């Protein structure tokens, strides 16, 4: 990629950290430029709608990415989260220009030991934390190590992955439950060993108990299609809001067919989820509950942890960023019943960042694969086999812009900060 630097030697690394092992000595290349751009991308197939959508997701989409350039020409890439980029956000991001990104962290030898206190307003604030992805990519390239190695040792080789693209295709394609079963077979044939399917049809797309019955039917059809040695997660996108009895009917009907988790059955409500748990236990059923993809503030995460009713918490990777996700994963270790699964949607970079976080985290046991390809990015060295992704031993995220990436940039979308 343009701006790449020669491989750094061990002596070079020691020189970088020679003054103070707990903090980089301030001799790294400063940030020279930050660029934002919208680029095209596509899902691997047509994707339907979920409980709250106004139309199917479709195939082709646009994704906003960012690139930073250091003074020595090193470049770093990331994806921008769900934050709407305002003039105020751009003004604060501009304050990073001219600063040494190594100084953004506390270091122990060549490992990041934490975010420097003066960078907390950036990396622990969802309005700005997306920029960290590009910074980490650049640091990894300067030190010639993958991003995950900046933080810790590997705890696994491959990372378990689920396909997260099964929506209401039988409705959007005017099909039936066999439509869902056929997609499930395709996903399994593609090598996946887990899939997350959308439920919640009764709230909008198939109202009333007919929607509940359809949710039950498609879940059972999917289980029969993929077999039992296969994990099925579900996500209702709050489609059972104010419909507790329907929710109980759904869960009791699906429980014998092994639901790995139920996500966002209805809006976060500790007492209601406790009532649901007790109701299911009366019949000998237990289904783990997942929540948290809308976490933006740390107190939201700690509150969900304290509720002790959620088994999987899902802060969004491209919104929260690497350091924030790793902080929350570390805090979740104090709650053995909780796993952290970074949420990811319409973001190939989000998947890659999640893989790096999972590589060094014992309690991130799955990552969400939206099977979205950003046309401007080359990720060819990542390997998928046996239901797992394997990270290449490449600097940074192991991602680069394709040589002709500009043809995929939406005209007029570029923002340059210098």
Span 379-405, pLDDT tens digits: 999 999 999 999 999 999 999 999 999
Which range marks the domain in which residue 232 is found?
159-400
Identify the pLDDT of residue 411.
97
Mean pLDDT score, 255-266: 98
pLDDT tens digit sequence for 60-103: 999 999 999 999 999 999 999 998 999 999 999 999 999 999 99
Looking at the fold, whether 166 and 307 belong to one and the same domain comes out as yes
The SS3 of residue 10 is: helix
Which tokens hold the place of 250? 């759904």
Band of the pLDDT at 23, cuts 50, 70, 90? very low
The pLDDT of residue 211 is: 99
Distance CA 314, CA 182 (A): 28
Same domain? 63 vs 117: yes
Gap between the Cα atoms of 70 and 106, Å rounded: 20
* 27's tokens: 């001799």
Which residues does residue 297 pair with via DSSP β-bridges, in sequence order?
none
Residue 15 banded pLDDT, cuts 50, 70, 90: very low
Rounded mean pLDDT of 16-33?
62
What CATH number does residue 44 fall under?
Answer: 3.30.390.10
- In the predicted structure, residue 20 carries a pLDDT above the cut 60: no
Do 139 and 272 share a structural domain?
Answer: no
Residues 125, 181 share a domain: no
The whole-number pLDDT of residue 110 equals 86
**Domain of 202: which CATH number?**
3.20.20.120
Mark whether 180 and 95 lie in a shared domain.
no
Among all chains, which residue has been given the structure tokens 């600097």? 395
Residue 4 lies in a domain: no
Residue 10: per-residue pLDDT:
40
Let me know if 221 is exposed, middle or buried by CB neighbors in 10 A (0-12, 13-18, 19+). buried
Q: What is the pLDDT of residue 26?
A: 54
Our count of domains for the chain comes to: 2
Same-domain check for residues 165 and 255: yes
For range 239-257, the mean pLDDT: 98
Same domain, 357 and 319: yes
In a domain, 2, yes or no: no
Predicted confidence (pLDDT) per residue in 347-357, tens digit: 999 999 999 99
Average pLDDT over residues 279-294: 97
**260, 390: one domain:** yes
Task: Check whether residue 102 and residue 227 sit in a common domain.
Answer: no
Beta-bridge mates of residue 37: 65
Whole-number average pLDDT of the chain: 94
Judged against a pLDDT cut of 60, whether residue 205 lies above it is answered with: yes
Distance CA 14, CA 244 (A): 60
Task: State the pLDDT at residue 19.
Answer: 33
pLDDT at 16 over 50: no
Percent of the chain with pLDDT over 90: 92
Are residues 235 and 118 part of one domain?
no
164 lies in the same domain as 143: no
pTM: 0.93
* The pLDDT of residue 116 is above 50: yes
Residue 350 near residue 317 (C-beta atoms within 8 A): yes
225/141 same-domain check: no
pLDDT at 28: 85
């Amino acid at each position: 990629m343009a701006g790449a630097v020669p491989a750094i030697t061990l002596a070079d690394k020691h020189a970088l950290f020679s003054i103070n092992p707990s903090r980089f000595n301030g001799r790294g290349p400063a940030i020279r430029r930050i660029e934002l751009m919208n680029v095209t991308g596509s899902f691997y197939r047509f994707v339907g709608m979920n409980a709250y959508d106004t139309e199917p997701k479709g195939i082709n989409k646009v994704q906003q990415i960012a690139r930073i350039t250091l003074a020595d020409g090193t470049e770093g890439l990331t994806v921008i989260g769900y934050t709407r980029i305002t003039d105020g956000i751009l003004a604060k991001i501009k304050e990073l220009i001219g600063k040494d990104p190594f100084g953004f962290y506390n270091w122990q030898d060549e490992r990041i030991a934490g975010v420097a206190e003066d960078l907390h307003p950036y990396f622990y604030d969802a309005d700005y934390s997306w920029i960290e992805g590009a910074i980490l990519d650049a640091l990894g390239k300067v030190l010639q190590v993958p991003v995950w190695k900046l933080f810790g040792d590997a705890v696994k080789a491959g990372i378990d992955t689920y396909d997260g693209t099964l929506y209401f295709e039988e409705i959007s394609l005017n099909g039936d439950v066999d439509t869902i079963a056929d997609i499930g077979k395709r996903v399994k044939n593609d090598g996946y060993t887990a899939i997350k399917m959308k439920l919640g049809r009764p709230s909008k797309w198939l109202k009333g108990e007919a929607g509940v019955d359809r949710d039950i039917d498609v879940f059972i059809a999917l289980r029969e299609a993929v077999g039992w040695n296969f994990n099925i997660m579900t996500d209702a996108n709050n489609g059972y809001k104010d419909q507790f009895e329907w929710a109980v009917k759904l869960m009791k009907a699906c429980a014998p067919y092994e639901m790995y988790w139920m996500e966002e059955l209805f809006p976060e409500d500790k007492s209601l989820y406790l009532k649901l748990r007790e109701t299911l236990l009366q019949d000998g059923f237990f289904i783990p509950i997942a929540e948290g993809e809308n976490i933006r503030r740390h107190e939201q995460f700690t509150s969900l942890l304290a509720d002790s009713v959620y088994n999987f918490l899902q802060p969004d990777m491209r919104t929260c960023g690497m350091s924030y996700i790793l902080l929350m994963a570390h805090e979740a270790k104090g709650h053995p019943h909780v796993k952290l699964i970074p949420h990811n949607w319409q973001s190939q970079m989000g998947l890659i960042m999640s893989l790096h976080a999972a590589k060094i985290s014992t309690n991130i046991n799955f990552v969400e694969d939206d099977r979205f390809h950003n046309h401007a990015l080359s990720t060819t060295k990542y390997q998928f086999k046996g239901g797992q992704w394997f990270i290449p031993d490449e600097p940074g995220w192991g991602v680069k812009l394709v040589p002709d990436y500009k043809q995929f940039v939406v005209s007029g979308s570029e923002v340059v900060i210098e």
